Amino acid sequence: MSTRISVIGGGSITDGDGDVATAVGRELGRRGYTVVCGGRGGTMEAVCRGAKATGGTTIGILPGEDRSAANEYVDTAIATGLGHARNALVPLNGDAVIALAGSHGTLTEIGFAGIYDRPIVGLGTHDVPSVETVATPADAVDAVEDALDHRA
């Protein structure tokens, strides 16, 4: 079972935030991780694009019933039909979580990451105590690696 990193963040983001997400995806792909995300646009598309550019694998867990709604960089799309309750599944399916810029949905996913006891690294995201804040995409991936090593 390959190690999976869930990347969470908003569906509507700035170009700058998209660049950060893509950089995170590139770094994850380069290091051989599978990216888990919500499968749609914004952060989700940007991180998957980055991961695919460096040979990574991507899983998108969608809120709707149509798996063809996944962005084009998703390798395995899972339709849930659960609406926003699917947010629980995104951190659950990663071994650790990287949280990027986002709004209410991202906050739910940070909370679920805490419930499921996943390490959470944040880059430009909500300032809550369960999140370890870092400064760059490479730092984010370093930090999740450290957290996973420490637990292993």
As a whole number of angstroms, the distance between CA 57 and CA 77 comes to 12
The one among 14, 32, 81, 136 contacting a copy of itself by CB under 8 A: 81
As a whole number of angstroms, the distance between CA 119 and CA 110 comes to 10
Q: Which stretch binds a copy of itself (CB under 8 A): 15-23, 44-52, 113-121, 138-146?
A: 113-121
The one among 79, 96, 99, 144 contacting a copy of itself by CB under 8 A: 79
The one among 93, 138, 145, 146 contacting a copy of itself by CB under 8 A: 93
- The H-or-E segment that residue 30 falls in is helix 15-30
Q: Which stretch binds a copy of itself (CB under 8 A): 9-17, 46-54, 88-96, 142-150?
A: 88-96
Nearer to a copy of itself, 23 or 28 (CB): 28
Nearer to a copy of itself, 1 or 152 (CB): 1
As a whole number of angstroms, the distance between CA 27 and CA 25 comes to 5
Q: How far is CA 57 from CA 48, 50, 84, 86, in A?
A: 8, 10, 24, 21
How do 120-122 and 96-99 pair as beta strands?
Answer: parallel
Q: Which stretch binds a copy of itself (CB under 8 A): 21-29, 45-53, 74-82, 136-144?
A: 74-82
- The H-or-E segment that residue 143 falls in is helix 137-151
Question: Which residues contact a copy of itself (rule: CB under 8 A)?
Answer: 1, 59, 61, 65, 67-68, 76-85, 87-89, 92-93, 103-116, 126, 128, 130
